[in-house]
Amino acid sequence: MTMPTQTRSPLTDEQIAQYHQDGFVVVKDLLAPALVERLVERFEPLFAGEFETGVYPEEWHWNPYLGKPGAAGQMTGVWRCDRTLASVLMSAQIGQMAAALEGWSGARFLADGMWIKPPGAKETTLHQDSMYINYHTPPGTVTCWIALSHAVAGASTIEYARGSHRWAMSAAVPEFHNQDKIYLADMERAAQRAGVAQPEVVQLDIPPGGCVFHHGNAWHGSGANQMDVVRRSLVLSYIPAESRFKPFDTYVPGGYIAGKYKRHGDDTMDESFFPIVWREDGYRSPFLAEYCGSVE
């Protein structure tokens, strides 16, 4: 299966500089409209429990039979559930862009997520991805957030505290899906600790098929969906291709995403679970070609 993305040149020096200055950078027209439509079509069957490969996701929040009306839906580990999604989530092109932002020689895929936020869905607490992605060395995380619907202010678009990637990593937020508190509160406390009295929060406007890359320490989240639209998005997180697990006897706060795949006495990150999607010498985890086809 060929991924019909629009052909694009590598990221410009200006885009890379903006990423390092703000902690995030928007890239428009990443995915072609026809591909966006195909991805959206996969949401309903997946949240209804219809998994093409027979493999269940690692996390599954909300389904049409048990979920509350208006609640946000989230799944992680969906690349092993659905080959159409995998054809994008395993993209060499997107992995190369993530590596370019951090100057890595290659990108290893760590985790994914798919989100659906219907009208009335509540906020997602601002957080840092590094709170949950901290079980590997050398350190570093780049996340790509892809809009599959028009992400705008008022419709639960993604938002960032500009420059917050320069703050220290905080402990994991206690209430990620936000039920009982102000969704900006944890970020605002982190800003105070960093000596930032009034953090600048930016709500992005991203068309379907566009994306934003952000640093693992950048505080981000989303407000409530106050519009009569459904917000859908995909999340892709990368680490350096040469990454290995930290020692087994090392306590890693929030390391549950990757830590459960560590074998005793072995710090190798198995490519069956953490594929290398792009490396400057041309290497990609071999099984990807058969599993989800070419993703050039």
pLDDT of residue 44 exceeding 50: yes
pLDDT value of position 265: 86
Cβ–Cβ < 8 Å for 212, 158:
yes
Spell out the residues 6+ positions from residue 115 whose beta carbon is closer than 8 angstroms to its own: 72, 73, 74, 231, 232, 233, 234, 235
Distance CA 229, CA 238 (A): 30
- Predicted confidence at residue 294, as pLDDT, reads 56
**Residue pLDDT, tens place only, 175-218:** 877 667 789 999 999 999 999 999 999 999 999 999 999 999 99
Nearest Cα to 152, choosing from 223, 212, 205?
205
State how far Cα 90 lies from the chain centre.
Answer: 13
Give the side-chain half-sphere CA count within 13 A for 162.
11
Please give the share of the chain, as a percent, with pLDDT higher than 70. Answer: 93
Instruction: Supply the pLDDT for residue 6.
Output: 41
Could you report the per-residue pLDDT of 241-252, keeping only the tens digit for each? 999 998 866 666
Residue 1 has pLDDT above 50, yes or no: no
Q: What percent helix, strand, coil does the chain show, rounded to 5?
A: 25, 25, 50
Amino acid letter at 292? C
Q: Quote the pLDDT of residue 168.
A: 93
Phi and psi (nearest 5°) for 40? -60, -35
User: Average of pLDDT values for 98-116?
Assistant: 97
**In CATH, 13-292 is 2.60.120.620:** yes
User: What is the distance between the alpha carbons of residues 296 and 294, in angstroms, rounded to a whole number?
Assistant: 6
230-274 residue pLDDT tens: 999 999 999 999 999 988 666 666 677 888 898 888 999 999 999
Position 4 scores a pLDDT of 39
CA 62, CA 25: separation in Å to the nearest integer? 30
Query: What is the Cα–Cα distance from 22 to 225, expressed in whole angstroms?
Result: 25
Q: What is the pLDDT of residue 295?
A: 45
- The domain spans of the chain are 13-292
Which residue did the predictor score with more confidence, 228 or 5? 228
Residue 184's CB is within 10 A of a number of other CB atoms, namely 20
Round to whole Å and give the CA distance between 240 and 272.
16
DSSP letter for 77, please. -
Q: Please choose, from the candidates 127, 143, 136, 137, the residue with its C-alpha nearest in 3D space to the C-alpha of residue 178.
A: 127
Which tens digit of pLDDT belongs to each residue from 271-290? 999 999 999 999 999 999 99
Beta-bridge mates of residue 147: 233
